[in-house]
Amino acid sequence: MDVVDIWTGRRASALRASLRMSNEAFANRLGAGVRTGANWEAKPDVVLSPAMQEILDTALADAGDAVQRRFGLLLAAAEDGAADVLRPATATVTTDSRPLPVAAVEASQAAWREVRQYLIESGIGLAARTADLYDKQLRVGEVPALTPQAWLPDAPVALDNLTLRWTANPPVPRVTGEQAEARPTLPLRAPGHAFQRYTAAIRYLRPPALFENRHSYRLTDLNWGEGAGELTFGLATFFDKLDVSEPIAHESAQAEMAGDLSWPRLPFRALVADPFDLSARIVNPGISTLTIRRNTSDGSGTFFLLRRDPTQVTNGRHYSLLPAGEFQPASIATESIQTDLNIWRNMVREYSEEMLGHPEHDGSTGTPVDYDVWPFYRDMTEAKNTGRLQAYALGVILDALSLNASVATVTVIDASTFDHLFRDLVATNPEGEVVLSLDNNKSIRGLPFDQETVTRLITAEPLGQTSAACLSLAWRHRHSIIGPAST
């Protein structure tokens, strides 16, 4: 019998294949979650926990001689680079050469995964090409993100002048992702049955590590006035948004892969009609924040990015501003829904999670955040109240590919205050890697907020559309938010 010194995802997958088990059956045998086995195949080099090492040692020892011999052969082939041998076997054909029904399911799911991979690899370029389907007057500068003029204030609005309203009865959406036009984006889950919602397909076929259906704030109205703004929100869930936005993006990828990215090939996108009609679908905005560390001696600034990891988040392999996240309550407790309808509180929680690596405020607990006793929140708010930190809203924008919305914000922090507040700045977080430079120049203060860097990011780097639009808007208003030294 082969002895395994260290169990990795690849070796565990080889044992599953040698037992001729599905991911689900293998997980049940080990007492693990179904997603665990899928993660092993997705991350073949991951080293498993000591407890799971022991479980797999026992499973291999208890296997028969034939299984053990097969394990040795499969493992040798896999570690020689033949990864296909560890994938679940495809269905055989009947004697009259007609495929079994399960083969159609596997083919459907494989095609769906291929489109998802295309979105990861080519999503930035696809977003730009999809934006070309819309009126160019809706572009945010040189960025192929979309917004009507009414969604942008004439000048940055201080967060203290931004009022958030609550509506208990938001309009019933017309487009939910269950319409017939969305069905071509939904793979089969069993013979004769497709997944009814796109999020169900993600959960079972390609789940990222961070994928939870939490309460989210739904934007229902917005207005900008003289130096002030008013946004109205109701309640929805994270998956409510994804069940519309992800099929819209998937449909564009399918069309482009077929060689025809045009309106006739996009019936679900066409069903949305006016992307700025907040009653037609559920629009749960994220918050994209450009964080500028301002050098008070000369007025220059630097900022930070996140290189997103596609294994951790729904869409990845590109840059985003830091921090950026969903506008959601801080906990699953009911009392958090009204308490956390506050953009500043959401931003501070994202700072804590993404820049300091503190997961206790990521929204997953059942305990509301007590902001009065949270030291970091108190310090950030004191800095804002004393003028050492300024926070502004720049408008609301849409990603052209998914039609996801984002509230664009910018925070300018005096250098000494920034260095104190973020003295424990992390190199990585659960969503990806913190980026301090683009050319490995070992910067520890961030990327320069100047014309060259801004232009490069919004024209030549894989920066997400809503992040690029936020950066573009901040540069447009740079004299208001940081002063003339940034020119």
The 10s digit of each residue's pLDDT in 142-182 is 898 999 999 999 999 999 999 999 999 999 999 999 999 99
Distance CA 249, CA 333 (A): 32
pTM flag (> 0.85) = no
Q: What is the reported pLDDT for 165? A: 96
Whole-number pLDDT of residue 361: 64
Give the mean pLDDT of 325-336. Answer: 88
* pLDDT for res 449: 94
b/e per residue, 360-370, with b = 16+ CB within 10 A?
ebbbeeeebbe
Is pLDDT at 260 greater than 80 in this prediction?
A: yes
Q: Which amino acid is at 300?
A: S
435 φψ region: left (φ > 0), alpha (ψ -120 to 50), beta (else): beta
Instruction: Output the pLDDT for position 101.
Output: 63
What torsion do the CA atoms of 323, 326, 329, 330 make, to the nearest 10 degrees? -40
Percentage above 90 pLDDT, the chain: 54
Say if residue 271's pLDDT is above 60: yes
Rounded mean pLDDT of 432-451? 76
Which tens digit of pLDDT belongs to each residue from 74-122?
A: 777 666 554 444 554 444 434 445 556 678 888 899 999 999 989 988 8
What is the band of 357 on the pLDDT scale with cuts at 50, 70, 90? confident
Q: How confident is the model at residue 442 (pLDDT cuts 50, 70, 90)?
A: low
Maximal CA-CA distance, the chain: 81
Q: What is the pLDDT of residue 421?
A: 96
User: How confident is the model over 265-287, as a mean pLDDT?
Assistant: 96
Per mean pLDDT, which range of 240-244, 307-311, 442-446 is the poorest?
Answer: 442-446
Domain locations in the chain as residue ranges:
9-86, 136-174+208-238+266-486
Rounded CA separation 355/427 (Å)? 8
- Determine the pLDDT at residue 440: 65
The whole-number pLDDT of residue 47 equals: 83
Amino acid 84: pLDDT = 47
Contact 392, 409 (CB under 8 A): yes
Name the most confidently modeled range: 136-150, 274-288, 306-320, 331-345: 274-288
**Per-residue model confidence as pLDDT tens digits over 23-65:** 777 877 777 766 777 778 778 888 888 778 888 888 888 888 7
Identify the pLDDT of residue 96.
47
| DSSP notation for 185-197 | GS-EEETTEE-SS
**What homologous superfamily does CATH list for 136-174+208-238+266-486?**
Nucleoside Triphosphate Pyrophosphohydrolase (3.90.79.10)
Handedness of CA 3, 8, 10, 15 (dihedral sign): positive
Question: What is the C-alpha to C-alpha distance for residues 309 and 319, in angstroms, rounded to an integer?
Answer: 9
What digits encode the pLDDT tens for the residues 383-421? 999 999 999 999 999 999 999 999 999 999 999 999 999
Least confident stretch, 266-270, 328-332, 402-406, 425-429: 425-429
Q: Is 406 helix (H, G, I), strand (E, B) or coil?
A: strand
431-432-433-434 Cα dihedral, nearest 10 degrees: -30
Q: What is the pLDDT of residue 384?
A: 97
Q: What is the mean pLDDT of residues 279-287?
A: 96
Q: 326 and 242 in contact (C-beta within 8 Å)?
A: no
Confidence of residue 68 (pLDDT cuts 50, 70, 90): confident
Q: What mean pLDDT comes out for the span 423-438?
A: 80
Q: Is the pLDDT of residue 339 over 80?
A: yes
